[in-house]
Structure 1
Amino acid sequence: MIDTTYALGVLAAMTVVTFGLRALPFLAARWLQSHPVVQKLGRFLPLAIMTLLLLHTLVGSARQNPSGPWAELAAVATVVALQWWRRHALLSILAGTALYVLLRNPGLVA
């Protein structure tokens, strides 16, 4: 049987640690924003994450589809070309998604 005092003490310790971990970034925000490593990561990390997500999606989709990665590559090329040309993220994403859906489901075009 568990002692009530022990259980409450464990809950209190967990509460303090959880609150401290959640509050730490806000307390250290001023120092973190001016730190050069954090600034460099802020410039580099979003692109790196998006690249890894894209590669993971392309490889996973190519493994599942017997026709190969051509629909994915065409959609990615469309997104890149539209983004480079128009600089409009929503337009690029919508056009690339629509092309991908149409290439993967040719029965949709009647």
Structure 2
Amino acid sequence: MINTFYAVTAILGMAAVTILLRALPFLAAPLLKRLSMVAQLGRFLPPAIMTLLVLHSVHGNASNNPAGLWQEGGAIGLAILLQLRWRSALLSIMAGTLLYVVLRNSHGFNCA
């Protein structure tokens, strides 16, 4: 059986580490804003990470989808066109996701 003091101490220690790790980015932000490399990473990383996530998702979904890549391609194409036209990430992501869900769930369009 675990000692009560040990359990409470362990929980408080884990809570303190969690709070510190959550607060660290906010505490370090004023120092990091001065670095030019951080500004470059702020411009470069979000699109790079989104691209990697999309490629990973397409690869995973395409391997499980007997209809092939056309549903993913259509949704990605729509998202790219909307982003180029209106420069609204929310609109692009929502419309691309909606089209993808409609295409995947429409049995009349399923080529399998």
TM (norm. structure 1) is 0.72
State the identity %. 54
Q: Using the alignment, how far apart are the partners of 2:12 and 2:98 within structure 1?
A: 52
Q: Normalized per residue, which structure has more helix?
A: 1
1:57-85 CA distance string (max 9 Å, x none): 11011101111111101111111112212
CA RMSD of aligned residues (A): 2.7
Q: Using the alignment, how far apart are the partners of 1:5 and 1:86 within structure 2?
A: 59
- Between the two proteins, the alignment pairs up a number of residues equal to 108
Q: Using the alignment, how far apart are the partners of 2:35 and 2:79 within structure 1?
A: 34
Mean Cα deviation higher: 88-97 or 70-79: 88-97
DSSP-derived class of the 2:33 partner: helix
Q: Using the alignment, how far apart are the partners of 1:103 and 1:8 within structure 2?
A: 52
Is 1:92 the counterpart of 2:92? The answer is: yes
Residue of structure 1 in register with 2:29 after alignment = 29
1:56 CA displacement: 1.0
1:15-46 CA distance string (max 9 Å, x none): 44344333333332210121223222211111
DSSP-derived class of the 1:34 partner: coil
Mean Cα deviation higher: 37-46 or 12-21: 12-21
Give unmatched runs, 5+ long, in structure 1.
none
- The higher radius of gyration belongs to 1
Higher relative contact order (CA 8 A, sep 6+): 2
